Structure 1
């Protein structure tokens, strides 16, 4: 185990030193994409060929281009779809759509503010952030001007919602449904988020590692290089988070205290991307997007993760969610011909 040389700085210093910004006003979002983001390609999922092995479980159709997915303790799931843009609420056991909620723009990531919602919905095209009830699909709040292309969102333990401002380079803090504060560009292109207690850990898809923000003080508190190029982040147990090193072919487990400490590396060749964690069974699920595989990892001892098996999936498995009632999983898939699906894998079909 190795503690990284984390950098503890205030948001003002972050703005001046890391981005060359001449303004110290953290209430003003960046107006332009950081220059390196325009020249350095971001990490992306692998482009999967048609599966050579039939997917395990049941496959049902869903919307178009599904990606972000969550399942609440009620057994109701939500998945984001595009063209037309919206959120499909579905039954996690059967995949049957319960309700379609139209949105202004699409969401790449979804997360839950609590065990059964609301769903946190960052809308990339409209620069808005909404909260959505799983029970009836009602939109309980919407905040506008949450950066340029808000990408992911999490709720920290103090109740603050942190949203990544992907094309602006910073983060936005939301309280009581409204923007409370913003920080200027830190990560060049912030992507996935993991909530770890009062902290929000951000993956930079441009390859600059992990950045940590304190939801209580709304300040940046740590930064360190992690992996090659990260995409998604995942909350684990205690003070741990996992980061998909999509270009590096691994998932990296880090301790966020808020200093960033290396804990373990999980081999995951084939552009790892989507992740989910079953806290009751200490199992982590990783989609290997280039090979149509779902990898199952035992995290009973997070310092010694153990791969227990792989599951064949539908084509282009970008996202996965765990049904907390049963331990089953649901995987999203999108074929080049335009058909999209949910793959429902019951617990008896999963390696244990």
Structure 2
């Protein structure tokens, strides 16, 4: 498989320009790929066929997945308004169940054995202490879609407010505008956060300390999910374009663009092995790419459960966890 040629055109836009174009969804924005602002979705998967590894039963579709390495716990958000906590070392043991106000759409690391759970329908961000199962709930208007921590402050993407909120002590202290539909936020370099804007299909660098948008780059034809690696790069899945994109933090540039056919969607990163695991929703597969070199190199490929929208990886053992959004459970694969 040959790499698609990389054509990188940096688009650096100041905060005022971004803010000006956001409210009316102006299609002339240089980051937009077309006139319609429609976020991409995973493919509707075909029936699964003999998934590799083992499959843990789950009585419902999984909506989000995260693995906390400090507590060795796999967290799974399900439609029943709860988060289930499985022991990575004993996954067959019945999980602990943590009730939440409504359906969780994303789970992300909060540090020190905790996870953030975004609940957009309830305008709520939950910080879950994985060790105790205790929760702290913050009201964040605007449909929170993701969260991370930057210099001790919680940064939350707000899909319905076209903004990013900064929380201190669980309270919103500031909002940064200039987005179309921020769906995820990652910790960037130093004082920065990286915001994935799925409608604009752009990756946007935000200076949290100064409360402003720093710069922005197009992220393929339809970016959906992203993680950061140990080099500080953002690895972004372009679902609509069928690619894996890599963005360097300093300078902020797209460095790699690699074809991944099969409607890629979920992504997880193994820092010990430099493997990016990507689910292919059109094929019911998960693929592991080594990403430390000049271009990604495929190392593993496994059959999965149907509708593999979420994936997580345990860097200690290398085990990969794939969650079905179609009630087929949680798959565990040892490469």
- Tell me the TM-score normalized by structure 2: 0.88
Which residue of the partner structure matches residue 148 of structure 2?
Answer: 154
Please state if 1:16 is matched with 2:14: no
Cα deviation, residue 38, structure 1: 11
Give runs of aligned pairs for residues 21-170 of structure 1, distance below 5 A. Answer: 40-52=37-49, 54-73=50-69, 74-82=71-79, 84-95=80-91, 96-114=93-111, 117-139=113-135, 141-144=136-139, 146-156=140-150, 158-170=151-163
Please state if 1:241 is matched with 2:231: no
CA-atom RMSD in angstroms: 2.3
The runs of 5 or more residues in structure 2 that have no matched partner are: 1-5, 26-32
Which residue of the partner structure matches residue 310 of structure 1?
Answer: 301
Which of 325, 335, 342 is residue 330 of structure 2 equivalent to? 342
Q: What is the distance in 2 between the residues matched to 1:329 and 1:152?
A: 22
Q: What is the distance in 1 between the residues matched to 2:292 and 2:217?
A: 26
The runs of 5 or more residues in structure 1 that have no matched partner are: 22-35
Asked whether the equivalents of residues 92 and 330 of structure 1 are also in contact (C-alpha less than 8 Å), the reply is no
Please state if 1:202 is matched with 2:190: no
Give runs of aligned pairs for residues 184-203 of structure 1, distance below 5 A. Answer: 184=177, 186-197=178-189, 198-203=191-196
Asked whether the equivalents of residues 217 and 253 of structure 2 are also in contact (C-alpha less than 8 Å), the reply is no
Cα deviation, residue 321, structure 1: 0.7
Asked whether the equivalents of residues 22 and 162 of structure 2 are also in contact (C-alpha less than 8 Å), the reply is no
Relative to 1, partners in 2 of residues 1:93 and 1:334: Cα closer, same or farther, differing over 3 Å?
Answer: farther
Asked whether the equivalents of residues 4 and 260 of structure 1 are also in contact (C-alpha less than 8 Å), the reply is no
Whose strand fraction is larger, Structure 1's or Structure 2's?
2
| Corresponding residue SS for 1:167 | helix
Asked whether the equivalents of residues 286 and 302 of structure 2 are also in contact (C-alpha less than 8 Å), the reply is yes
Q: What is the distance in 2 between the residues matched to 1:75 and 1:59?
A: 19
Which residue of the partner structure matches residue 213 of structure 1?
Answer: 206
| Aligned residues between the structures | 320
